[in-house]
């Protein structure tokens, strides 16, 4: 098992950019678990699985799917879905389907396998609590709701997605509530995670802070 740096936190706290930068600096692989949940949700939507489908039905619908990362792109069953999984709708359904045990069970081994032969920076909601409870280092990245909505707004605008700041605020609010209230693997700070508030920090400042904690 390689070294794992676990970075959890709510949506829009900057986890992806920070994790990617840290992975690059340390020569670790970047594991974007949100992309896994987004891709699986896209697959289930395409299969027209209902939100209230039971375990077996969900599990059967997932059986045999492949999700792969290559050159910053995400492939679902061999097809590039990098843009399709980044819409607000894809995030909404990722949040809904990620509450299902069959989905979490299917992704658990995929996530753990990613760290078997590599050092990884793994970002998500339950990295430090469930997937990698023995992670080498654990962080919880947080920010004010307004700060997170603004970050989400900027990200989506940058990708050409039409969104208002109110819609971005509703998106982070609604998803965080659902992600932290679900029964299985809810968004939660691990007891031994270092908490960092990124509201008034730039990307570089957050990265520096995390690197200096790792050095200590």
Binding site for ligand DC (CB under 6 A): 11, 33-34, 37-38, 91, 94-95, 98, 124-126, 175, 179
- Minimum distance from CB of 33 to ligand DC (Å)? 4
Quote the CA–CA distance of 101 and 116 in Å, as a whole number: 23
- Minimum distance from CB of 176 to ligand DC (Å)? 8
- Minimum distance from CB of 216 to ligand DC (Å)? 26
Whole-angstrom CA distances from 161 to 34, 35, 86, 89, 194 are: 19, 18, 9, 11, 33
**196 three-state secondary structure:** strand
Alpha helices in the chain (DSSP H): 15-26, 33-46, 55-62, 88-97, 101-114, 145-158, 165-181, 203-215
Q: Which is nearer to ligand DC, 108 or 194 (CB)?
A: 108
CB-CB contact of 98 with 184 (8 Å)? no
- Minimum distance from CB of 162 to ligand DC (Å)? 19
Q: Which is nearer to ligand DC, 61 or 103 (CB)?
A: 103
Compute CA 186 distance to the chain's CA centroid, rounded to the nearest angstrom: 12
Q: Which is nearer to ligand DC, 91 or 215 (CB)?
A: 91
Q: For tokens 């520096």, what's the residue?
A: 208
- Minimum distance from CB of 44 to ligand DC (Å)? 13
Q: Which is nearer to ligand DC, 97 or 215 (CB)?
A: 97
Quote the CA–CA distance of 152 and 158 in Å, as a whole number: 10
Q: Which is nearer to ligand DC, 44 or 212 (CB)?
A: 44
């Amino acid at each position: 098992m390689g070294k794992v740096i676990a970075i959890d936190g709510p949506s829009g706290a900057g986890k992806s950019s920070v994790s990617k930068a840290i992975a690059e600096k340390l020569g670790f692989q970047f594991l974007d678990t949100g992309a896994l949940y987004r891709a699986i949700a896209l697959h289930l939507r395409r299969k027209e699985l209902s939100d209230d489908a039971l375990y077996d039905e969900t599990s059967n619908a997932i059986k045999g799917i492949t999700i792969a990362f290559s050159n910053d792109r995400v492939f679902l069953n061999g097809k590039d879905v990098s843009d399709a999984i980044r819409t607000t709708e894809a995030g909404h359904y990722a949040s809904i389907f990620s509450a299902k045990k069959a989905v979490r069970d299917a992704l658990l081994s995929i996530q753990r396998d990613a760290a078997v032969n590599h050092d990884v920076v793994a970002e998500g909601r339950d990295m430090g609590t469930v997937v990698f409870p023995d992670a080498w280092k654990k962080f919880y990245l947080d920010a004010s709701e307004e700060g997170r909505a603004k970050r989400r707004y900027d990200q989506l605008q940058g990708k050409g997605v039409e969104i208002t700041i109110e819609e971005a605020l509703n998106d982070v609010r609604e998803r965080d509530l659902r992600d932290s209230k679900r029964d299985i693997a809810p968004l939660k700070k691990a007891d031994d995670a270092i908490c960092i508030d990124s509201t008034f920090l730039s990307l570089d400042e957050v990265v520096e802070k995390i690197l200096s904690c790792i050095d200590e």
